[in-house]
Amino acid sequence: MKIIVIIQARMGSSRLPGKILKQLGDVDVLTYNIERCRAIQGVSEVIVATSNLPQDDAIARWCEINQVAYFRGSENDVLDRYVQCAKMYKPDYVMRVTSDCPFVDYEMASEIVSLMEKERKDIVLMNGELPRGLAVELISYESLLRIHESGIESRHREHVTYYAYEFPQEFNAVTYNVPTNRIAPELRITLDTVEDYELISAVAKHFHNPLVSSSKVISYLRETPKVAKLNAHIEQKPVI
């Protein structure tokens, strides 16, 4: 079974432009993200999917310098960007990751891959409330093509798997039960604002390890409320 990771990435951001190339210690946010994705067991390729806009030339250059596979496509039709990228690799499954999650949970993602290898369903559903910034999505390539054909609304094109959650009856899903040591919905470990950057910078400085376990990150934030509170007031932007 061939599984690829596609990381959607762009320099544009209404709240924190250029965020994915900001420094985290000796490296940058995108390096953290990619190293963790490469640690996911059972994955054959990790590809950065960015846009054709000139502002994203910086991401393409970064990928070339760091020998990371990349693809360029539509800025706003992210679903099409994913499909066109995936077509080049012809996988059985595609794992979706966003580049603004430098502490994406590679251990949990490995378990999700193992689950799908056994179940061979269309999509994995998560049962349990994670901190924002740790989750991945795993969907079959065939399901992605179906979404591409049927998802015509703007929310379907911008948010790659939205159609599958809006019309669950059209897909065969398997449920992944989130480990209890990952359930922490009060925490925000993603990068969208200056406050988020302060928090993840503090985490990176504390551990000095891009492959630190997400469970240790959660424990650190719970034991260090001064850091956890840095972005506790930030509201997530609505999907629609």
Residue 237's pLDDT band (boundaries 50, 70, 90)? low
Q: What distance in Å separates the CA atoms of residue 12 and residue 110, rounded to the nearest whole number?
A: 30
Show the tokens assigned to 29: 């946010």
Q: Which residue has the tokens 């689950």?
A: 115
Q: Are strands 23-24 and 27-28 parallel, antiparallel or unpaired?
A: antiparallel
Residue 144 domain-assigned (yes or no): yes
Residue 239 domain-assigned (yes or no): no
Task: Report pLDDT digits (tens) over 174-233.
Answer: 999 999 999 999 999 999 999 999 999 999 999 999 999 999 999 999 999 999 999 999
Q: CATH no. for residue 87?
A: 3.90.550.10
Task: Report pLDDT digits (tens) over 130-183.
Answer: 999 999 999 999 999 999 999 999 999 999 999 999 999 999 999 999 999 999
Task: Report pLDDT digits (tens) over 31-42.
Answer: 999 999 999 999
Residue 240 domain-assigned (yes or no): no
Residue 238 domain-assigned (yes or no): no
Note down the domain range covering 214: 3-231
Residue 127 domain-assigned (yes or no): yes
* 50-79: average pLDDT: 98
Q: Are 185 and 131 in contact (CB under 8 A)?
A: yes
Residue 193 domain-assigned (yes or no): yes
In the chain, the number of structural domains is 1
